[in-house]
Amino acid sequence: MKYLMSGIGRKQLMAITGLLWSGFVFAHMLPNLLIIFSPEAYNKYSHALTSNPLIYIPEALLVFTILLHLVNGIWVTVENKRARPNKYEMAPSGEKAPRFQSKWMIYHGILLAVFIVYHLVTFKFGPYYSVTYNGVEMRDIHRLVIEVFQSPAYVGFYLACMVAVGFHLSHGFYSSFATLGFFHPRYSPAIEKFGYVYAAVVAGGFMSQPLYVFFLAGR
């Protein structure tokens, strides 16, 4: 308990929950690319997931872990701001400039929290259209996605949020290894590079879908 209340303990919890979500976003992005290839495959994949009662277990885990991450993210950030009540006139620069601006984490993070709720409201709890393939009735989630991504405002918001995911991951992936106590002069630069590539792949993959729909499909 003392551990879970300590600064390092809370950051390690953030690192574990953050890494779990990092894995989830990739696993969410990849099959969504089916939208580009086949509406039927897209709907069938979605149906296979949602019709399995076991889906509640990972869903509950995701909700629980993101809440832990969010609460601790706000908590550590408040502590961090309090630790420097008087600001500097100038920031470190030149040879001593830190590699990246991790101070944005809380801002992308809060945008992501808003996004996740809005995203669930739009899609998961959005209008139910029905479609039947070979006598099996299922939700036509593909139609909803095509409809939603006709709005330039929605697409713009979605793209901005995916840029935020990219930035969040580009620091977060690397950072979590250090937080969990893993740093090695030989492997850490590779982890850092992998983090950048991973962030770009996840963000790019998610962005390809609204762009594809807006410019190429449903027009």
Partner 1 sequence: MGGTNSTNLKLKLKVWRQKNPQSEGHFENYDVDSISSDASFLEMLDVVNNKLIRDGKDPIAFDHDCREGICGSCSMVINGNPHGPQKGTATCQLHMRKFQSGDSITIEPFRAKSFPVIKDLAVDRSAFDRIIASGGYVSVNAGNARDANSIPVPKAKAERAFMSAACIACGACVAACSNSSAMLFVSAKVSHLGLLPQGDPERESRVLKMMRTMEEAGFGNCSNTGACSLACPKEISFENIADLNREFARASAKERA
Part of the chain binding ligand HEM (CB under 6 A), chosen from 40-48, 110-118, 123-131, 153-161: 110-118
Establish if 183 lies at the interface with partner 1 (CB under 8 A).
yes
Nearest to partner 1 of 32, 102 (CB atom): 102
User: Measured between alpha carbons, how far is residue 186 from residues 19, 106, 152 in Å?
Assistant: 21, 30, 45
**Residue 69's CB: how many other CB atoms inside 10 A?**
22
The item of ligand HEM, partner 1, none sharing an interface with residue 38, based on CB under 5 to 8 Å by kind, is none
| Among 32, 50, 102, 150, contact with partner 1 (rule: CB under 8 A) | 102
Element (H, E) at 103: none
User: Measured between alpha carbons, how far is residue 139 from residues 35, 48, 85, 87 in Å?
Assistant: 15, 11, 53, 54
Residues 38-67 that bind ligand HEM (CB under 6 A): 66
Establish if 97 lies at the interface with partner 1 (CB under 8 A).
yes
Closest CA to 143 of 46, 18, 1: 46
Number of shown-chain residues binding ligand HEM (CB under 6 A): 27
Nearest to ligand HEM of 110, 217 (CB atom): 110
106 neighbors 80 (Cβ within 8 angstroms): no
User: How far is the C-alpha of 37 from the C-alpha of 142, rounded, in Å?
Assistant: 12
Least Å distance between CB 207 and ligand HEM?
Answer: 15
User: Measured between alpha carbons, how far is residue 7 from residues 10, 139, 176 in Å?
Assistant: 5, 45, 14
Residues 6+ apart with CB under 8 A from 92: 98
Residues 188-217 that bind ligand HEM (CB under 6 A): none
Q: Which residues bind partner 1 (CB under 8 A)?
A: 2-3, 6-12, 76, 79-80, 82-100, 102-103, 105, 171, 174-175, 177-185
Q: Which residues bind ligand HEM (CB under 6 A)?
A: 11, 14-15, 18-19, 21-22, 25, 66, 69-70, 73, 76-77, 105-106, 109-110, 112-113, 168-169, 172-173, 175-176, 179
